[in-house]
């Protein structure tokens, strides 16, 4: 299988490259149709994986002040891929997000629910492209992951990130354990699955709960406090999506991910050894 990855130098792109070490990794702007067309014609991939996107540094608050750059990478870029892969009949995978919802845990959001979280520009751009791709369900696999984590000290790992916070929300969320995410996406690719899929570990956890386990497993001296939802504006400019996604569609496809608490414990055990 000839794989081509856009955004291979990014956090998730590097993991996908480790999954497909022979993949071609062009450094072109995905919103530049001429350059995208040229790499597709040169490499003639069987599968294109789009890991490119603007996520902001140090976090999505950056996107509030860089709206055009964010729109360019998160909406215009995937539109170019849709058109250029479409013209060549190339199967492609968009690494999207489930951070387009806000809601309590009573009814997990499914792939047919329309985005309802408008609290950040980042999430609005992701919601727009998510909905557009819904009109091309036979052409593209839209991977909707959330809060990726693993057992490394990578600064983008959710656990490493929240270990630096002194106050944490106790709101339950869906999350994606990167080793499970990679296997699940690979299984979907092997099946040439298309359309939107929530690719999250079943169950939900809060950052506060994860750090309680961190204290138990990794560092008994770690300290943190509870951050109330209403106090979030004290530490973040933009709102943050809090939601639980249904993993049923993935399961029905025969692709399983382990329960989230089991995955978090495994990640913490490997952090403990570092």
Ligand X SMILES: NC(=O)c1ccc[n+]([C@@H]2O[C@H](COP(=O)([O-])OP(=O)(O)OC[C@H]3O[C@@H](n4cnc5c(N)ncnc54)[C@H](OP(=O)(O)O)[C@@H]3O)[C@@H](O)[C@H]2O)c1
Binding site for ligand X (CB under 6 A): 6-7, 9-13, 29-31, 51-55, 72-73, 77, 95, 97, 126, 145-146, 148, 156
Question: Which residues share a beta bridge with 47?
Answer: 3, 91
Kindly tell me which of 102 and 219 has the beta carbon lying closer to ligand X: 102
Burial of 220 (0-12, 13-18, 19+ CB in 10 A): exposed
Supply the DSSP symbol for 74: I
Smallest gap from residue 72 Cβ to ligand X (A): 6
E strand or H helix that includes residue 85: helix 77-87
Residue closer to ligand X, measured from CB, 215 or 236: 236
Which one, 55 or 194, has the nearer CB to ligand X? Answer: 55
Question: Rounded to the nearest whole angstrom, what is the least distance from the CB of residue 236 to ligand X in the complex?
Answer: 14
Contacts of 224 (CB under 8 A, 6+ apart): 165, 166, 167, 168, 208, 211
Rounded CA-CA distance 121/136 in Å is: 24
When the beta carbons of 118 and 216 are compared against ligand X, the nearer one is 118
Shortest distance, CB of residue 53 to ligand X, whole angstroms?
2
In the complex, minimum distance from the CB of residue 255 to ligand X, in angstroms, rounded to a whole number: 18
Cα–Cα distance measured from residue 97 to residue 143, given in angstroms and rounded to the nearest whole number: 7
Comparing CB distances to ligand X, the nearer of 31 and 227 is 31
CA separation for the pair 77, 71 (Å, rounded): 8
CB contact at 8 A, 187 and 42:
no
The minimum distance between CB 54 and ligand X, in angstroms, equals 5
């Amino acid at each position: 299988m000839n794989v081509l990855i856009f955004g291979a130098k990014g956090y998730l792109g590097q993991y996908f490259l480790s999954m497909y070490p022979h993949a071609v990794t062009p450094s072109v702007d995905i919103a530049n149709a001429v350059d995208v067309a040229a790499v597709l014609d040169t490499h003639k991939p069987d599968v294109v994986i789009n890991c490119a996107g603007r996520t902001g540094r140090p976090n999505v608050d950056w996107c509030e002040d860089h709206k055009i750059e964010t729109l360019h990478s998160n909406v215009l870029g995937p539109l170019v891929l849709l058109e250029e892969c479409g013209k060549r009949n190339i199967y492609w995978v968009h690494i999207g997000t489930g951070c387009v919802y806000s809601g309590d845990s009573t009814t997990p959001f499914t792939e047919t629910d329309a985005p309802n979280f408008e609290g950040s520009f980042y999430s609005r751009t992701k919601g727009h492209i998510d909905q557009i791709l819904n009109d091309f369900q036979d052409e593209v696999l839209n991977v909707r992951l959330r809060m990726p984590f693993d057992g490394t000290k990578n600064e983008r790992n959710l656990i490493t990130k929240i270990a630096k916070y002194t106050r944490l929300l106790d709101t339950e969320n869906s999350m994606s354990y990167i080793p499970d995410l990679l296997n699940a996406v690979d299984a979907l690719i092997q099946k040439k699955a298309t359309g939107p899929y929530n690719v999250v570990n079943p169950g939900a956890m809060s950052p506060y709960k994860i750090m309680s386990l961190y204290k138990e497993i990794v560092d008994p001296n770690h300290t943190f406090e509870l951050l109330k939802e209403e106090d979030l504006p004290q530490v973040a400019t933009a709102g943050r999506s809090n939601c639980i996604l249904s993993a049923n569609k993935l399961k029905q496809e025969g692709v399983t991910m382990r329960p989230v608490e089991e995955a978090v414990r495994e990640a913490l055990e490997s952090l403990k050894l570092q």
